[in-house]
Chain A
Amino acid sequence: MSRSVLLSALLLGGIAATFGGPDALAQANGNGRALAPGVKVEVAPAPGSGPAPAAGKLDESALRYYARIGDGERLEAEIARLRALDPGWEPPKDLFAPQPAAAGVDESPFWTLLSAGKVAEARAAIAEQRRKSPAWQPSEKLLQELDLAESAGRIRSASDTKRWQDVVDAATANPEAVACNRLDNAWRLAEAYAELKQADRAFETYKTIVTTCPKAKERRDTLFKASRYLGPDRLRELAALGATANPATGEDYSTVRAAEAELETGRLLERLGNAKPGALSAADLSRVQGIIRDKQDADGAIALGWYFQKQKNYAEAQSWFSQANGWAPSDKAAEGLVLAYNGLGEKAQARAAAEPWKGKSSRIDQALKAVDPPRGPSGPGGGRSAPQGPSELDRALARHDFAGCIAIIRSSIERSGPTAVLLQQRGWCLLELKRPSEAEAAFVEAQALAAREPAPKPAKGGASATGKGSDRNPAASGLPQTPTPAQENAYGQAIARLTTGDVTGLTRDLPRANLTPTQKAEIRASLMATEAGRALEDKRYHDVLRLLDARRELEPEPRNLGILRGWALYNLMRYDEAYVQFKSIDDRLSTEDSREGVSTAWKTIYHDW
């Protein structure tokens, strides 16, 4: 009966160590036995049950109640508990047979209230019943369950309001409230330890969970929870224990190892995104490459591509961007590919890679400027009349060196004066450096200068170079419209305004803005996404869905907005739809956010808190 092992006793061990010192721990561990290296498990009766009663004297009221309402899981747990108290006890054969009304008082209404989480109402009903029948005493089990429910409530409420020490105190007062069948509370206790900077105790709590709670899913979820607080080494240790300790029949613990691998991949990819060239060890790099290949993870391949691109290892970068584009064609992958080919000096290939997205994606149009810089006065960033290889500015852009871009443009302007093209490029680089106010000013200046410069030939796609537009709208005929320089500047200004949070002003000005239909749709979609985020903060959940639905008509919904949609559905109490939404996102790529959504919706639907 290893399942009768109580997690609470173990957690109590930890708490006792906190408050009672080593002696208290030793006392609590009196019945301990080692089940896996480094794991000591307690076999303890449920707190409050006192010494094992004589056979035939066990309180079976809860057992009969669970049988009557058909709660198989709790029934099983109760049978296990009673067997732990009296190994000779057998469940009554008439457990599922209808029972004649017991002499005295029927406790069912109190159990029903308790099951619905109405603890105060249950207490009040019991008090009322005792007033009517002073001789009647509620069963010991009912009182225990009430105490337990109250403790669990205290833990939840303290944890929700981040009163971490109160969480620990409440768990100490009733350790059974943090047992496997109340796993959420056990997680909250571990979180409280972590928040109180008691990392060892947090780890011990997680360790106890993954070694005693039998279900593989619970162990896997515990690993994900722990990943917020524990470093890779401890997570690995936790995964190893969770995959091997105290196995239960029929459970597949390989999911625990898979979860650890998933976390490791996430960590490596995150490091890859932030890493300076050469920052990843050869072993880590080879590992992450293997994982990305196995999972055919296009986003991961793009991250790898940029990692190599920053190292100026253009060949390797080109190979990963190509791989990403093969797995899931996107303008992000194509952008990298264009710049990698450009770095290799293969301009024709770069143009070919850009072709499917040209005029449709601003990032591709920007990348193409590194391949074929717009004409302007001669100089490092000003374009050339004959091919001379990538300019200093092109190289900076290909490296994503935006500080370099600003410096080069500044010296070029100091040397030869400003041009509309240079100022516009400065705007894009400032945006990349998260300096949107200056970026907007640069686009405004570029626009003013462009109006004074001689107009270039009409751009491909038919729009006039002055940006006033021709009578015939190429977009209407289904052809992608190449933005004019004026439209590029207006687009840059709009992006900068979005970044500074000028949502109201931009919404007002957008209908009159000189943008291509594609650009306008993109900005409108971004505005709706921003507004949807605000609506969620304001708890206007119907508005969130309304805005996201409208946005989805313009562009496919990205993951983050999908998660937002899930929470709006959840808060509208459309739990089933929220679960389906989170699950569909999680099935494609599982992240901490998607897992939290799935788990919260699932628990709400099945009252599994």
Chain B
Amino acid sequence: MPETSMVGTARRAALWAALAAATLLTSGCAGWVRDNLTQSPTPWRRIQPAALPVTLGESRDFAIVAARMRDTGTIYKTYNVALGNPTTLPGENRLTIDVQTLPDSLFGALVQPPRVFPVPLYTMETLTVTTRREFPDMKVKVADAARRNRYGDYDYATAQDEQNSCVLAWQLINDHKRVLPERIEAVRVEYRVCSVGSNIRALLAPFDGMTLTLPETILDAQDLGGM
């Protein structure tokens, strides 16, 4: 009898397995997407400037021309702000903000998209490539000392020709002690503008005066160092 009952159990198990397979095959689960596409960046979508999580210091030259955003998985939100450009140089003036949040589920923690910005943000090699691309035929200089805005230190490079000046500034905000709320892992900000003349401070002024207005509380860095 025990032998009979073992056979019976095995048959039942095989039947259940076959049923489960048949159910899967007939319920639309027979096909699957090879890779988890939810982790790929979405296409850019336009947003109103009012929906941006940032305000820049007042500037007549660098008014907001257009704003767009995209998501990468549930972790990253990237905002791209095209700014006015009073020069005849190629390339858009812009501010880019990448917000990295912490996943809100176990699944989110297990399946994460690749990071949308590198850390370190630049090496001398990648900075050279970027400045050459952004400011072709201009004299580029990387600033020796960092500057400071509301959210801490940032680095920048300048580019100049006979009539115009440009800056490329980049900042990684990851101060959890004071600046960032728990939910936000890091914020990467990059600012690229060109204008007529040679006043670098005026170019940096909107970035110095930038205020992040993300939905959660972001505080100023403690020591604003003469801002």
Chain A residues close to B by CB (< 8 Å): 402-404, 406-407, 433-438, 440-441, 500-505, 534, 537-540
CB pair B65 A437 closer than 8 Å = yes
CB pair A438 B84 closer than 8 Å = yes
> B37 — which chain A residues lie within 8 A by C-beta?
538, 540
Stretch from B5-13, B85-93, B103-111, B139-147 contacting the other chain: B85-93
> B92 — which chain A residues lie within 8 A by C-beta?
434-438
CB pair A500 B91 closer than 8 Å = no
CB pair A433 B43 closer than 8 Å = no
CB pair A534 B43 closer than 8 Å = yes
Does B46 have its Cβ within 8 Å of any Cβ on chain A? yes
> A505 — which chain B residues lie within 8 A by C-beta?
45-46
> B68 — which chain A residues lie within 8 A by C-beta?
500-502
Assembly CA distance A540 to B89 (angstroms): 38
Assembly CA distance A538 to B40 (angstroms): 7
> A407 — which chain B residues lie within 8 A by C-beta?
88
Assembly CA distance A264 to B65 (angstroms): 44
Assembly CA distance A184 to B91 (angstroms): 40
Q: Is the interface of A mostly helix, strand, loop or mixed?
A: helix
Known interface pairs A438-B65, A538-B35. Does A501 touch B43 (Cβ–Cβ under 8 Å)?
Answer: yes
Does B66 have its Cβ within 8 Å of any Cβ on chain A? yes
CB pair B89 A433 closer than 8 Å = yes
Since A438-B85, A538-B35, A539-B34 are in contact, a sample of 9 more A-B pairs with Cβ atoms closer than 8 Å, ordered by chain A residue number, is A433-B88, A437-B65, A437-B66, A437-B82, A501-B43, A501-B44, A504-B43, A538-B37, A540-B37
Assembly CA distance A402 to B68 (angstroms): 26
Assembly CA distance A540 to B36 (angstroms): 11
Known interface pairs A440-B66, A441-B65. Does A435 touch B85 (Cβ–Cβ under 8 Å)?
Answer: yes
Known interface pairs A435-B85, A438-B85, A534-B43. Does A500 touch B90 (Cβ–Cβ under 8 Å)?
Answer: no
Tier of interface size on chain B? 20 to 34
Least CB distance from B72 to A in Å reads: 12
> A441 — which chain B residues lie within 8 A by C-beta?
65-66
Chain B residues close to A by CB (< 8 Å): 33-35, 37, 40, 43-46, 65-66, 68, 82, 84-85, 88-92
CB pair A433 B91 closer than 8 Å = yes
> A501 — which chain B residues lie within 8 A by C-beta?
43-44, 68
Least CB distance from B177 to A in Å reads: 35
Assembly CA distance A434 to B133 (angstroms): 12
Closest to B94 in A: A437
CB pair B89 A500 closer than 8 Å = no
> B91 — which chain A residues lie within 8 A by C-beta?
433-435
CB pair B88 A438 closer than 8 Å = no
One of A406, A436, A500, A502 near B88 (C-beta < 8 A) = A406
Closest to A408 in B: B88
Assembly CA distance A539 to B68 (angstroms): 25
Least CB distance from B148 to A in Å reads: 29
Assembly CA distance A391 to B35 (angstroms): 56
CB pair A502 B44 closer than 8 Å = yes
One of B65, B66, B84, B89 near A403 (C-beta < 8 A) = B89
Closest 9 CB pairs of A and B: A437-B82, A403-B88, A437-B66, A433-B90, A501-B44, A406-B88, A503-B43, A437-B65, A504-B43
Assembly CA distance A502 to B44 (angstroms): 5
Least CB distance from B138 to A in Å reads: 13
Closest to A505 in B: B46
One of B33, B40, B66 near A537 (C-beta < 8 A) = B40
> B34 — which chain A residues lie within 8 A by C-beta?
539
Closest to A571 in B: B34
Assembly CA distance A3 to B115 (angstroms): 49
CB pair A403 B90 closer than 8 Å = yes
8 A-B pairs in the complex with CB atoms less than 8 angstroms apart = A403-B90, A433-B89, A437-B82, A438-B84, A500-B82, A502-B44, A502-B46, A503-B44
Assembly CA distance A262 to B54 (angstroms): 51
Closest to B39 in A: A538
